[in-house]
Amino acid sequence: MHNEQQQAALAIRRVFAGQTLPAALAAVDDGAPTRGRALVQELAYGVLRHWGRLAALTGVLASKPLSDPALAALVAVAIYQVDHTHAPAFAVVDRAVDAATLIARPQAKPLINAMLRRYLREREALNESVAAASPVARWSYPRWWIGRVEADHPRHWQQILAAGNERPPLTVRVNLRWTTPDALLKRWNDADIRATRAGAIGIIVDSPQPVTSLPGYVEGLFSVQDLGAQLAAGLLDVHTDMRVLDACAAPGGKTTHLLESARIDLTALDEDAARLARLRENLKRLRLETASLRVLHGDAGEPQSWWDGRGFDRVLIDVPCTASGIVRRHPDAKWLRRKTDITAFAQQQRRILGALWGVLARGGKLLYSTCSVFAFENESRIAEFLSEHRDALRETIMLPSEVARDGGQLLPSLKGASHNQDGFFYALLRKV
C-alpha cells in the first residue's frame, strides 16, 4: 500500500505544479500491477475532490509547514483513506510512515507518524474545527469559485458544490444502431454485472469497472457519456439528410450520438489533432464511418479555412469552458483554474458563436452547449448574442421533468438522484 500512497502523493504534487491529473498519473510506473494503478488513481482523484479540507487538516496537524509538498500530499492521502475507504486506519498510518521514507528521508517518519496518529485520536474535533474556520475547507473549492456559484445559483449553490465532490457514476449511452438498452442490460445482468436503466438510452453501471471489460464494448454497442451530455442530440432535432456541423467535436461523444440518431450529412470539426484521433477511433469502434461523414481539423472560429460555403441545417457548438459542471470527474480543474480564466473562455465562446452563426442556413437551429455552471459562460453569453443578432430567436427546450435545472442550466446531481448527471448548459437558437 505504501508504494501506491507514494505515487498518489507525487501525482498530487505534480497537479499543484501545473499538470493535469491525467498527465500526472501517466508518470505512475507502467510496470505496476493493475490493481496498484487503480488504487493510485482512486487516491489521487479522491484527495483532489476533498483537497480543501485535507490541506486544512494537514496544516493544523503540522507544528510548522512541511518542507516537502509531497509529504503534505502524503498526509492528505492517508487522511482520505481513513475517511473514505475500507482500509484499516492503523494499517494506513503504518504504510504512510513507510512511504515518507520513499518520498523524503527516514527522519520524516516520526513527524508523519505523530501527525496521523493525532488525527486518529482527534478526528471529529479536527474536522469540525477546520470546517468552521474556512469555506475552502468546508466545501473544498477555491474561495472565488464558491462565491461565484453562490451568486449565480442562490437557491442551489450548496447542492452544486456538494455534488461536485461526489464520486461520479459510470454512465453509458446505448448505440441504437446495433442494440437496445433492454437487450444490453440483459446481457450484462446475465454476466452478473449490476446495472440500471437511466434516461432515454442510458445505463448506469452500479459497480464501476474498466469500461473495456464490459460485454459489447468491442462490438461498439455503447459509449461512455454522462446523462446530461446525452440530451444534446435530441435537443438539436436532427432529421434524415440534414447537413449538420458538430464544432469542437472531439473526442466524439456528441458526434457519434448524432450519427446514431439519424442518417445525416455530418461534418465533425476540431482544432486538436490528438483528440481528433480519438474521435476517429470511436467512430471505428461504434461502426459509424460513412461516406456522408467528414472529419476536419480546423478552428471553429475561422470558418473561411474549412467551410465550403453551403449552409448547415443544424449546428452544435460544445464550446471550450471552465468545465465547472463536471469537476466530480475532473477534480484537478477546480485547483488549476484561476478566476481570470472565465473571462478568457468567454472571449473564445463569443468568437466561436459569432463565427458559426454565419454558417447556419436560414431557418436552421444552433445548439450552444457548455459543461459549466457559471452564468458568465452560459446565460450571459446567450443574452449578449441575442442583443447583437436580430435574426436570432431563442427556442424553448424541453428537458426531462426529473432534471434539476434553471432555464437551460442542468445542475449536477447529488448521489441517489433519479437522473444522476453532471452540470451542463444548453441554449437552442433559430435563425429567422
Catalytic residues: 371
Three-class DSSP category at 84: helix
Q: What residue ranges in 254-391 does DSSP mark as E strands?
A: 265-270, 293-297, 312-318, 360-370
Q: Name residues whose C-beta falls within 8 Å of residue 150's C-beta, 6 or more positions apart in sequence.
A: 157
* φ and ψ of 266, to 5 deg: -115, 135
What is the signed CA dihedral for 366, 412, 56, 123, rounded to 10 degrees?
-170
Taking the chain, what is the end-to-end CA distance rounded to the nearest angstrom? 62
Neighbours of 225 (CB within 10 A): 19
247 close to 316: Cβ distance less than 8 angstroms: yes
Residue type, 119: Y
Whether residue 322 contacts residue 341, with contact meaning beta carbons closer than 8 Å, is answered with yes
Please, which residues bridge with residue 245 across strands?
Answer: 267, 315
Cell triple for residue 83?
475517511
Query: What are the grid coordinates assigned to 251, written together?
Result: 473526442
Residue 69's Cβ-count burial label (10 Å; 0-12, 13-18, 19+) is middle
Query: Is residue 107 a contact partner of residue 14, using CB atoms and an 8 Å limit?
Result: no
380: phi > 0 → left, psi -120 to 50 → alpha, else beta; which?
Answer: alpha
Determine the Cα–Cα distance for residues 8 and 14; give it in Å rounded to an integer.
10
